[in-house]
Amino acid sequence: DSGVTQTPKHLITATGQRVTLRCSPRSGDLSVYWYQQSLDQGLQFLIQYYNGEERAKGNILERFSAQQFPDLHSELNLSSLELGDSALYFCASSASGQEYNEQFFGPGTRLTVL
């Protein structure tokens, strides 16, 4: 158990809908990262937050947004969902935003868009 929790574990929804994925980092970790793992693209970095502020941005679509709250949990919002958004979404946390900090991964949320 990495100490990172994600909810829900599974999510099934329809095209055009909006969903929110939630991540609670390990106790004391200030940085949260979001990743998408799809069958055709593999694992991709989406976005990183550090202590409430956006720190780095990867291949995140404009239909997606994220935030980190004062209690350090983070939410990833996916809107106008398309079939291709079906994927495993992982969040990871690290002690700080620094490069030498190891990242600990949550169990993932499996999103299926029908």
Partner 1 sequence: KNEVEQSPQNLTAQEGEFITINCSYSVGISALHWLQQHPGGGIVSLFMLSSGKKKHGRLIATINIQEKHSSLHITASHPRDSAVYICAVRAAGNKLTFGGGTRVLVKP
Cβ atoms 19, 85 nearer than 8 A: no
Distance in Å, CB of 6 to partner 1, minimum: 10
Among 22, 26, 55, 73, the residue binding partner 1 under the rule CB under 8 A is: 55
Residue identified by tokens 């079906």 is 86
- Amino acid type, 19: V
Taking the least distance from each CB to partner 1, the nearer of 52 and 107 is 107
Distance in Å, CB of 41 to partner 1, minimum: 10
Report CA-CA distances (Å) from 17 to 10, 54, 114: 15, 25, 10
Among 20, 44, 65, 86, the residue binding partner 1 under the rule CB under 8 A is: 44
At 16, give phi and psi (nearest 5°).
90, -15
**Residue 33 interacting with partner 1 (CB under 8 A):** yes
Report CA-CA distances (Å) from 18 to 52, 60, 72, 80, 81: 23, 16, 22, 6, 6
**Residue 88 interacting with partner 1 (CB under 8 A):** yes
**Residue 98 interacting with partner 1 (CB under 8 A):** yes
Residues within the interface to partner 1 (CB under 8 A): 2, 33, 35, 42-45, 48, 55-56, 58, 88, 90, 97-100, 102-105, 107-108, 110
